[in-house]
Amino acid sequence: MNINATLIAQALVFVVFVAICWKYVWPPIISIMEEREKRISDGLEAAKKADDSLEEAKLAFDKELDQAKSEAAGILEKANARASQIVGDASSKAEAEAEKIMTSASTTIENETNKAKEELRQQMSEIIIDTTQKILGDEISPEKHDAILKKAAEEL
């Protein structure tokens, strides 16, 4: 337990070890720890940013979805309107066509009737003339009594 040169030796050894620690031990450990700390905080920040942008994307998505929905509803409405309009147009057109067909049909019928009547009248007058000729002989010829026949036909 004597105080001797061990004290000075230990002080020198102390200086040497502190110097070694200062130069070769402390800096690498501290730099690794700081680097990791920075990387972790960067990572957390990036995660937070990603979270935020996800939230934003969700909002944008919702907004677009709503817009798309309303657009779709508009389109559907328009389509319905157009469909009913088309149906309406078609039915009115069909009605008009039907009327037209009816009209033309009745005209044709009338014409046919008139034609048939005319033909019948003609035949009848011929039959009458034939019969009259046979009765009256050759005295009466259609050429001579054309006027009379015409008059008769008109009276029929």
Which residues would be at the binding site for another protein (CB under 8 A)? 1-11, 13-15, 17-18, 20-22, 24-26, 28-30, 32-33, 35-36, 39-40
CB of 71 to another protein, least distance (A): 49
In the complex with another protein, the residue whose CB is nearer, 9 or 136, is 9
> In the structure encoding, which two tokens stand for residue 113, read together?
């009737």
In the complex with another protein, the residue whose CB is nearer, 1 or 135, is 1
CB of 49 to another protein, least distance (A): 20
Q: At what angle do helices 26-136 and 146-155 cross, to 10 degrees?
A: 130
CB of 46 to another protein, least distance (A): 15
Q: Are 156 and 125 in contact (CB under 8 A)?
A: yes
Q: Is 143 helix (H, G, I), strand (E, B) or coil?
A: coil
Contacts of 128 (CB under 8 A, 6+ apart): 152
